[in-house]
């Protein structure tokens, strides 16, 4: 079950609510709260990801604020390894490193604690988030991981919005696995 079959993908996709015209007309928002509150669907997803990453010999899971925290912390617990949050500026209490990235209309930034990987040399990490759209935040997160000399062995997303091509940008930096593609 390292890659889901079409029936399993449909099961997970059906557990995610689609909301038309949110946050603005023409957008179909994928509301994962319905997957999160469906114990069977969430457990199925976590079992799948645990099986997929069990033999990667990962040291840490890195989750992007905020929904990446949910999947990342749960997966880290399943794999018996540490979890590291990547957050927006001024949210982490200790010394941080930062990476800026461009948005359609401006610049944003992500941060991580300077000692996030507990001084583990060449830590092998998995980056995880709920969704990949244009890839800006994920790309900045991978660059942040690289600043620590850790290796991002793969970036995992629950949903890939294929038409926005974000996964193609991330594939220039690391392997990408998307559970679902819409």
* Whole-Å CA distances, 163 to 65, 169, 182: 23, 12, 8
Q: Check 6, 30, 65, 67 and give the catalytic one.
A: 67
What are the structure tokens assigned to 104, written together?
């359609």
- Rg (C-alpha) for the chain, rounded Å, is 16
Annotated catalytic, 30? no
User: Is residue 88 assigned to a domain?
Assistant: yes
Annotated catalytic, 104? yes
User: Is residue 97 assigned to a domain?
Assistant: yes
Q: How many domains does the chain have?
A: 1
How much is the pTM?
0.96
> For the chain, what percent of residues have pLDDT higher than 90?
95
pLDDT at 1 over 90: no
Distinct helix (H) and strand (E) counts, the chain: 6, 9
Mean pLDDT of 104-111: 89
Q: Check 6, 54, 65, 104 and give the catalytic one.
A: 104
Summarised one tens digit per residue, pLDDT across range 114-127 is 999 998 999 999 99
Task: Give the confidence band of 59 by pLDDT, cuts at 50, 70, 90.
Answer: very high
User: Is residue 29 assigned to a domain?
Assistant: no
User: Is residue 19 assigned to a domain?
Assistant: no
pLDDT at 151 over 80: yes
pLDDT at 49 over 60: yes
The CATH number of whichever domain residue 69 belongs to comes to 3.40.50.2020
C-alpha 54/C-alpha 40 separation (Å) is: 21
Name the residue range of residue 62's domain. 56-181
């Amino acid at each position: 079950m390292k890659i889901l079959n079409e029936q399993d993908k449909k099961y997970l996709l059906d557990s995610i609510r689609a909301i038309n015209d949110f946050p603005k007309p023409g957008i179909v928002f994928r509301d994962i709260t319905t997957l999160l509150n469906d114990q069977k669907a969430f457990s199925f997803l976590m079992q799948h990801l645990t099986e997929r990453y069990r033999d990667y010999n990962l040291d840490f899971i890195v989750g992007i604020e905020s929904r990446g925290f949910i999947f990342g912390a749960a997966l880290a617990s399943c794999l018996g390894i540490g979890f590291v949050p990547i957050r927006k500026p001024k949210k982490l209490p200790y010394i941080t490193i930062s990476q800026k990235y461009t948005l359609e209309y401006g610049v944003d930034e992500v941060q991580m604690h300077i000692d996030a990987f507990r001084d583990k040399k060449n830590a092998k990490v998995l980056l995880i988030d709920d969704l990949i759209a244009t890839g800006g935040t994920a790309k900045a997160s991978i660059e942040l991981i690289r600043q620590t000399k850790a290796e991002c062995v793969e970036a995992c997303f629950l949903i890939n919005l294929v038409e926005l091509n974000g996964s193609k940008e991330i594939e220039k930096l690391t392997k990408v696995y998307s559970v679902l593609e819409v």
